[in-house]
């Protein structure tokens, strides 16, 4: 069953079914975490991301990176 309430994944990362169809966004924005992580993976810097989305903080971007890394490690350990 889908949640009808906002879920705080971290301090800055949330999933809210009323915002961007429940995709992970940064709190108080419609900025997709996936988009930011994709730009970083493609070689853009955190400084570039912050210039493109001035509403984001460095702490929010760093939290998204840490959450992604933790999810990868957790998924890898499940598969092993």
Task: Give per-residue pLDDT as tens, 27-55.
Answer: 999 999 999 999 999 999 999 999 999 99
- Pick 7-79's CATH classification: 3.40.50.720, 3.40.190.10, 1.10.10.10, 3.30.56.10: 1.10.10.10
How many CA atoms, within 13 angstroms, populate the side-chain half-sphere of residue 6? Answer: 14
Distances (CA, A) of 50 to 7, 18, 28, 40: 24, 25, 15, 11
Contact 24, 68 (CB under 8 A): no
To the nearest whole number, what is the mean pLDDT of the chain?
94
Q: How many residues are present in the chain? A: 80
pLDDT at residue number 3: 66
Q: Does the pLDDT value for residue 57 go beyond 90?
A: yes
Contact 53, 40 (CB under 8 A): no
How many percent of the chain have pLDDT more than 90?
Answer: 86
pLDDT band at residue 76, thresholds of 50, 70 and 90?
confident
What are the sequence ranges of the domains in the chain? 7-79
Q: What is the pTM of this model?
A: 0.88
Contact 19, 7 (CB under 8 A): no
């Amino acid at each position: 069953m889908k949640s009808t309430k906002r879920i705080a994944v971290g301090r800055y990362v949330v999933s809210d079914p009323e915002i961007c169809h429940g995709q992970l966004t940064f709190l108080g924005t419609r900025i997709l975490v996936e988009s930011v992580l994709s730009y970083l993976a493609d070689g853009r810097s955190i400084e570039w991301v912050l210039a493109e989305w001035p509403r984001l903080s460095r702490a929010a971007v760093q939290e998204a990176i840490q959450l992604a890394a933790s999810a990868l490690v957790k998924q890898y350990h499940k598969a092993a």
